[in-house]
Chains A and B, each alone.
Chain A
Amino acid sequence: MQREAIQKILALGIPKQHDEAWTFFPVSKLRPLEAQWQALEIPATTTPPTPSAETSVPSPFSLDIANETDIAALLPIAFGAKTLSKTVAKNAVEQGILKPRDENAHTVFEIGQGAKVSLELLENISDRDFASERLDIFVGKDAELELFSAEKGHEGALRFRHFEIHQAEGSTVRILDLNETSATMRLSGVVKLEGQNSHFEYRSLNLNKGMASTHVHLRIEHKAPHCTSSQFVRNLLGGSAYASYDGAVIVGELCTGSLSSQLVNTILISEDAKISVKPVLKIYHDDVECTHGNTCGTLDPESLYYLQSRGISFTDAHRILMRAFAEEVLLAHPIATGRERLQKILQESLNGLSKN
């Protein structure tokens, strides 16, 4: 896979601003990487491991590198990440933590039919300024997966996380992210709702400060009837932070009864913070309900005044309103494991978020 990934990256070259998937990303930050991947030694061909028969979804090792167009999906593999494979047995109930072993990581999960899994993704705390991670997740029939993570990238760091999720009939995946960062980050993902009645939820809270530059690029593909998906993102942007959200929902021709929603709310705490949002809907069937919404503003001055009129200081009023705004994302997450963990982290994070 590494060989193919390197060849593909070399063929694709460094993304340009006019590449649709990289429109908002500061592509100049990729230039230092270019020299690194051009120097990569192409290994000899390797034999792929035998796929598991436990799930009814495609094998994780039949990655379609030849047709991959997003270099973020290829970076960890090209840079030689060792693949960690994990299979969760049919009907098993598991909670776990996934910690990257190196600055480049690749993990493959196969979740068996009817299994229930809660997984915390720990941040790649490599001291290096560059880290990339890829997750390939195959969720079996009627299985449930909760993924949650809290990231704290430092200024100057460049972080990539890419996931590809394949969901079988009746499966549910819920992702909850809290990013408190000054780094440049790109989260990209492709979710394929391949079995009917499968359900995907993505919730993300971004607390960006300093020179943070965070970018989400998601593709949710409804490929079977009666699938549902939702994306709910809130951004609190301070300092000179920049965030972008590029979320697409693609509903296929046979996908009757599809439901999807996208909602992005942003509060700009400082005058220099910026946000770009691009919802994309590609619908090839009539019997669907797909919604999208986007709001952007500052903390409501009337709310600040109201709290202050009761004796609460401006600083505390500010913090109260930020917390109320932020917590709604977490409270909407129905699984207590991730919700409660991230609520604790949020409390500490808000104390460090300011206009600067």
Chain B
Amino acid sequence: MLSIQNLKASLNDGTQILKGINLEVKPGEIHAIMGLNGSGKSTLSKVISGHPAYHVDGGSVFLNGKDLLGMDVSARANEGFFISMQYPIEIPGVPNVEFLRMAMDSQRAYRKEPKISDEEFKTRLNSSMKLLEMDERYRERGLNDGFSGGEKKRNEILQMAMLEPRISFLDETDSGLDIDALRIVANGINHIMNPSRAVILVTHYQRLLDYVKPHFVHVLHRGKIVLSGGPELALKLEALGYDWITEEA
């Protein structure tokens, strides 16, 4: 599904962040990426999605055999790559529901499918909002406008549920969530997962991984994946921190 080979990337000012990332994600898999602040986790998600602040210095990213790095941002999304932002921005004046519908229709147009019908959109939105226990007032509010940190994260997962991406890169989706919201969001992620999709989670804490069970855990350190393992690796990191990895690296 997603194949990242020797990916190197810098900020536009020349600061090198990613120094050769290798990662293979297959359908049905959940991967967790952990690491110290500044290790390159968010950069990885943004580089794959095509954020304009980064420059790819080398390597490749293929999604189902298609070269994502050769596409613009919207095409990458339309190919099925979804990024849940660590800090979703607010866009006043763009109603949430209108935005969701435009995004869905854009993806359908990309796949040369007709626009979503009123009935289907309404049914799917109601179902997704119910899953995420979202308040009715979300519908008409501006995109993340005035949302709390937790509401923004929940809104990201709502978009993920509606867009049904092949692979979702969730960047610290658990930050800013209270205990109940964490359970609801995790439940949403688990509900959206199926054998044809995949999820990459970036997190600092085991608590999200108690709800969303990863198949693989990777440690990113100074722009490289320096260690990979199973769920037990996250527990070890929670117990010991990163010092032992830093020393080994």
- Pick the residue among A303, A309, A320, A321 that contacts B73 (CB under 8 A): A309
In the complex the two chains form, is A320's CB within 8 Å of B106's CB? no
One of A74-82, A159-167, A311-319 contacting the partner: A311-319
Question: Would you call B88 an interface residue if the criterion is a C-beta within 8 Å of the partner chain's C-beta atoms?
Answer: yes
Q: Which of B82-110 contact A (CB under 8 A)?
A: 82-83, 85, 88-89, 91-94, 99, 102-103, 106-107, 110
Contact for A312 among B85, B92, B103, CB less than 8 A: B103
- Taking a contact as CB atoms under 8 Å apart, the answer to whether B89 and A306 are in contact is yes
Q: Is the CB of B88 within 8 A of A324?
A: no
Establish whether residues A311 and B106, one from each chain, have CB atoms under 8 Å apart when the complex forms: yes
Query: Taking the complex as formed, is B163 at the interface, i.e. its CB lies under 8 A from any CB of chain A?
Result: yes
B interface size (C-beta, 8 A): 28
Q: Give 10 A-B contacts (CB < 8 Å), ordered by A residue.
A: A305-B51, A308-B50, A309-B49, A309-B85, A310-B159, A311-B110, A311-B163, A323-B93, A324-B92, A325-B93
Task: Report the minimal beta-carbon distance from B124 to chain A, rounded to whole angstroms.
Answer: 15
Bound-complex Cα distance A30 to B136 (A): 57
Once A306-B89, A306-B91, A320-B102 are accepted as A-B contacts, the answer to whether A312 and B74 lie under 8 Å apart by CB is yes
Least CB distance, B168 to chain A, in whole angstroms: 12
Smallest CB separation, A320 vs chain B (Å): 6
CA distance A308 to B75 in the complex (A): 8
Contact A312 B106 (CB under 8 A): yes
Across-interface contacts of B50 in A (CB, < 8 A): 308-309
Main secondary structure of the interface of A (DSSP, over half): helix
> Does B238 have its Cβ within 8 Å of any Cβ on chain A?
no
Given the known inter-chain contacts A301-B52, A302-B89, A320-B102, please indicate yes or no for A308 contacting B94, CB distance below 8 A: no
Q: B72 on the interface (CB 8 Å rule)? A: yes
User: How many residue pairs between the two chains, A and B, have CB atoms under 8 Å in the bound complex?
Assistant: 71
Which of B77, B82, B91, B102 is close to A324, meaning CB atoms less than 8 Å apart? B91
| Contact between A309 and B77, CB atoms less than 8 A apart | yes
Q: How far is the CB of A108 from chain B (nearest CB, A)?
A: 38
Quick check: is A129 within 8 A (CB to CB) of the other chain? no
Q: Within the assembled complex, what's the spacing in Å between the Cα atoms of A52 and B123?
A: 62
Contact with B102, one of A303, A309, A316, A321 (Cβ below 8 angstroms): A316
Bound: A176/B74 CA distance, A: 36
| Interface: B128 (CB within 8 A) | no
Q: Is A123 an interface residue (CB 8 A)?
A: no
Contacts A306-B85, A313-B74; A324 near B94 (Cβ below 8 A): yes
- Nearest to B90 among chain A residues (CB) is A303
Q: Does A328 contact B (CB under 8 A)?
A: yes
Interface flag for B203 (CB, 8 Å): no
Chain B residue nearest to A308 (CB atoms) is B73
Residues on the B chain within 8 Å of A303, using CB: 89, 91
